[in-house]
Amino acid sequence: MGAGKTTVGRLLSDALGVPFADSDHEVEERAGKPVSEIFVDDGEAAFRDLERVAVADMLAEHSGVLALGGGAVLDADTRALLAEHRVVFLRVGLADAVKRVGLGAGRPLLLGNVRARVKQLLDERTPVYESLARITIDTDGLSPGDVAGEVVDALRRLDTPSPGGSGYSTTEADR
């Protein structure tokens, strides 16, 4: 959360001239209420069930850029489906993530101590994100437009691989 998936995803789709979709928006449409209300009324497990089905449908039907919610990859079926796609991991450090999510409004898993929750989720999930990523972009200190530009460049490189190359990533040190 706060990596910029929704914001950068939309900019990326504009840059590529392809449609954009976001799994949280789709889940909200299907449930008829915001993510935060789904968590309160029905619980996280119900949200994850909706999310799993929505993501599977979108991966099958949507052609373009798809932004996932940060916990979508906790589901093994979703991870298996993502293996067929060019997954972009927007890496964010604790400090930038906390700045971006503010008080965590609309993000029920951040209720309470936002910094502690973000740190816990980053620690738990980073290995999963890394295992799925074909492209990794370090977003700390970059604007959403800069990040989208880096993804465009990385996709180009991915589609014209150099001999022996198996992926693409940027780090602060590369720049």
Ligand X SMILES: Nc1ncnc2c1ncn2[C@@H]1O[C@H](COP(=O)(O)OP(=O)(O)O)[C@@H](O)[C@H]1O
The distance of closest approach from Cβ of residue 142 to ligand X in the complex, given in angstroms and rounded to an integer, is 5
Query: Which partner from the list ligand X, Mg ion, ligand S3P, none does 109 bind, CB cut-off 5 to 8 Å by kind?
Result: ligand S3P
The distance of closest approach from Cβ of residue 6 to ligand S3P in the complex, given in angstroms and rounded to an integer, is 5
2 is in an annotated binding site: yes
CA-CA distance, 29 to 27, in Å (whole number)?
Answer: 5
User: Which CB, 74 or 158, lies closer to ligand S3P?
Assistant: 74
Closest CA to 37 of 129, 87, 106: 106
User: Which CB, 53 or 158, lies closer to ligand S3P?
Assistant: 53
What DSSP element (H or E) covers 20? Answer: strand 20-22
User: Which CB, 85 or 164, lies closer to ligand S3P?
Assistant: 85
Rounded to the nearest 10 degrees, how much is the dihedral formed by the CA atoms of 125, 170, 94, 144?
-110
CA-CA distance, 119 to 37, in Å (whole number)?
Answer: 24
The residues binding ligand X (CB under 6 A) are 1-8, 100, 139, 142-144, 147
Q: Where are the alpha helices (DSSP H) in 83-143?
A: 94-101, 114-132
User: Which CB, 5 or 91, lies closer to Mg ion?
Assistant: 5
CA-CA distance, 93 to 154, in Å (whole number)?
Answer: 20
Annotated binding site for Mg(2+): 6
Annotated binding site for substrate: 24, 48, 70, 125
Annotated binding site for ATP: 2-7, 107
